[in-house]
């Protein structure tokens, strides 16, 4: 029976004695946008003055909902708990809403979960990757996004990244109209159409192989090439695109179909001559596990906070390791530096690691989040500081209030020339 309004908070203590008197005393969400992208971070304070943890809860398109979930619903359940009981606490939060999962609840859960891992690391005096079993590699190789309005501009960008040490590069080139994902478009590409700025799938399928053919001529054979379709193909068109790229040896082809069609991914992957990556839009651990177990992916690409944090992600990582699937955690600018540290803790502690997406944070983000990890020579090196090794300057963070609907304004214009909406 749920409590009625005005009732005191139900007892959330487990039926065992905490090993000492340490307790959670405060839980709150902080939203800041030093790069213009709303980032959500959860801070968990304890009865030990100065001992606190930070977790990434960034769902940039619905940050108000995540912050309210943390502050009003999830946080009060933790007060008085010993922060060591991470498994029990995240399971208790997950089950406590009865209806569970989804990006809002999972991001709130992730913020708490990662903050508890941060506290665990600080208590042990160890970086979190040591709590996970220690390193199996020195650093995580990264890929960055090369993009341009034309093929030549895209390849020039890729050459600059390769000169900086990157051996993996994602290529996205503009199209007529609104453009393909991750690259500028050419407005008015279809002047006679109902939506002149439209994106045309047939044009995309014709021109994308030419991008990669030219890329091999210009960039050579050594560099690993990646591409993100961003969910805009049918399963059959996904196979057509994958086969058209066979000669150009992609490292992976990402999100060829929308999550609504993930049950078709095993057949797409079986027919694809290039590795298939998917998963950044997953908000359910069982669905992610099904994708791995049913042969839907060569690389699993979850947004770690969207599936509930480090605790579920490390279990999926183990599943990948046991089934020959590799990891490629989602990590562009809408992951906070705390989330990057969590991705990296997984990357350096598992043999299942495939590749890590990266983002170069500007100075403002590095100042708000002291300890932010930025790429060096195409790699991320883990911090040896206890916990995540990332702090948050709340006074500075308050100078960068979030703006709503940035993504929505862009997404509402992603339409075909006939005016029909496409996945953004």
Interstrand relation of 250-254 and 224-228 (parallel, antiparallel or unpaired)? parallel
Q: Which is nearer to Mg ion, 129 or 227 (CB)?
A: 227
Name the residue nearer to Mg ion (CB basis): 143 or 212. Answer: 143
- Give me 420's structure tokens: 């029909």
What pairing do the DSSP bridges indicate for beta strands 168-173 and 224-228? Answer: parallel
The answer to whether 248 is a known catalytic residue is no
Q: Is the dihedral of CA 272, 420, 103, 28 positive or negative?
A: positive
Closest to Mg ion by CB, 311 vs 343, is 343
Number of residues that bind Mg ion (CB under 5 A): 1
Is 200 a binding residue for Mg ion by CB under 5 A? The answer is no
Part of the chain binding Mg ion (CB under 5 A), chosen from 168-176, 185-193, 227-235, 320-328: 227-235
Stretch that binds Mg ion, among 9-17, 68-76, 194-202, 221-229 (CB under 5 A): 221-229
- Annotated active-site residue in 52, 143, 166, 181: 181
**Torsions phi, psi for 281 (to 5 deg):** -95, 5
Residue 131 backbone phi and psi in degrees, to 5:
-65, -25
What is the gyration radius of the CA atoms in the chain, in angstroms?
Answer: 22
Closest approach, Cβ 182 to Mg ion, in A, equals: 8
Q: How far is the CB of 256 from Mg ion (least distance, A)?
A: 11
Task: Tell me the closest approach of the beta carbon of residue 282 to Mg ion, in angstroms.
Answer: 12
228 binds Mg ion (CB under 5 A): yes
**In the complex, minimum distance from the CB of residue 300 to Mg ion, in angstroms, rounded to a whole number:** 13
Catalytic residue of the set 230, 303, 330, 359: 230
Q: Kindly state the smallest distance separating residue 279's Cβ from Mg ion, in Å.
A: 9
Residue 381 among the catalytic residues: no
The strand order across the sheet containing 39-46 reads: 24-32, 39-46, 52-56
- Applying CB under 5 A, the span of 68-76, 166-174, 220-228, 363-371 interacting with Mg ion comes to 220-228
Q: Is 302 exposed, middle or buried (0-12, 13-18, 19+ CB in 10 A)?
A: buried
User: Residue holding tokens 């891992």?
Assistant: 117
- Nearer Cβ to Mg ion, position 362 or 423? 423
d(CA 116, CA 24): 10
DSSP labels, 351-375? TTB--EE-----HHHHHHSTT----
CB of 255 vs Mg ion, minimal distance in Å:
5
Q: Tell me the two tokens of residue 422.
A: 């496409």
Which tokens hold the place of 226? 């990646």
CA–CA separation, 177 and 314 (whole Å) = 41
Please say which residue, 82 or 227, places its beta carbon nearer to Mg ion: 227
- The verdict on 347 binding Mg ion (CB under 5 A) reads no
Nearer of residues 57 and 328 to Mg ion, judged by Cβ: 328
**Closer residue to Mg ion (CB): 197 or 228:** 228
Q: Are 270 and 298 in contact (CB under 8 A)?
A: no
CA distance 245 to 274: 8
Q: Which stretch binds Mg ion (CB under 5 A): 75-83, 141-149, 165-173, 224-232?
A: 224-232
Q: Which range, of 124-132, 145-153, 226-234, 334-342, touches Mg ion by CB under 5 A?
A: 226-234
Write down the least CB distance from residue 145 to Mg ion, Å: 9
Residue with the CB atom nearest Mg ion in the bound state: 228
Distance (Å) of CA 206 to CA 94, 117, 200, 244, 285: 45, 47, 10, 9, 36
Q: List active site positions.
A: 181, 230
Q: Which residues bind Mg ion (CB under 5 A)?
A: 228
């Amino acid at each position: 029976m749920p409590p009625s309004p005005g009732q005191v908070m139900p007892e959330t203590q487990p039926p065992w004695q905490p090993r000492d008197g340490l307790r959670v005393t405060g839980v709150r969400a902080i939203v800041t946008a030093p790069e213009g992208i709303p980032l959500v971070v959860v801070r968990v304070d304890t009865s030990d003055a100065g001992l606190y943890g930070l977790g990434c809860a960034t769902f940039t398109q619905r940050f108000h909902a995540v912050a309210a979930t943390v502050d009003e619903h999830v946080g009060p359940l933790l007060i008085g708990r010993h922060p060591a009981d991470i498994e029990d606490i995240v399971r208790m939060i997950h089950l406590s809403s009865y209806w569970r999962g989804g990006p809002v609840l999972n991001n709130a859960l992730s913020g708490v979960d990662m903050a508890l891992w941060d506290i665990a690391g600080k208590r042990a005096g160890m970086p979190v990757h040591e709590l996970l079993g220690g390193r199996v590699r020195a650093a995580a190789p990264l890929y960055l996004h090369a993009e341009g309005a034309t093929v030549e501009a895209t390849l020039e960008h890729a050459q600059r990244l390769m000169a900086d040490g990157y051996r993996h590069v994602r290529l996205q080139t503009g199209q007529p109209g609104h453009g393909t994902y991750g690259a500028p478009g050419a407005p008015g590409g279809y002047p006679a159409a109902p939506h002149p700025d439209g994106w045309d799938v047939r044009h995309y399928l014709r021109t994308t192989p030419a991008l990669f053919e030219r890329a091999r001529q210009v960039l050579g054979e050594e560099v690993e090439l990646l591409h993100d379709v961003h969910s805009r193909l049918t399963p059959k068109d996904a196979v057509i695109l994958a086969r058209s790229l066979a000669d150009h040896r992609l490292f992976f082809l990402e999100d060829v179909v929308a999550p609504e069609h993930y049950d078709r991914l095993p057949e797409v992957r079986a027919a694809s001559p290039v590795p298939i990556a998917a998963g950044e839009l997953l908000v359910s651990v069982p669905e992610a596990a099904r994708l791995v177990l049913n042969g839907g992916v060569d690389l699993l690409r979850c947004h770690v906070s969207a599936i509930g944090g480090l605790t579920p992600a490390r279990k999926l990582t183990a599943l990948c390791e046991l089934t020959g699937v590799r990891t490629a955690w989602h990590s562009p600018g809408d992951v906070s530096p705390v989330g990057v540290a969590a991705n990296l803790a997984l990357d350096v502690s598992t043999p299942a690691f495939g590749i890590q997406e990266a983002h170069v944070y500007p100075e403002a983000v590095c100042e708000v989040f002291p300890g932010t990890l930025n790429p060096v020579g195409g790699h991320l090196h883990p911090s040896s500081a206890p916990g995540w090794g990332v702090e948050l300057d709340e006074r500075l963070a308050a100078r960068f209030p979030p703006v709503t609907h940035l993504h929505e304004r862009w997404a509402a214009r992603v339409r075909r020339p006939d005016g029909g909406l496409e996945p953004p």
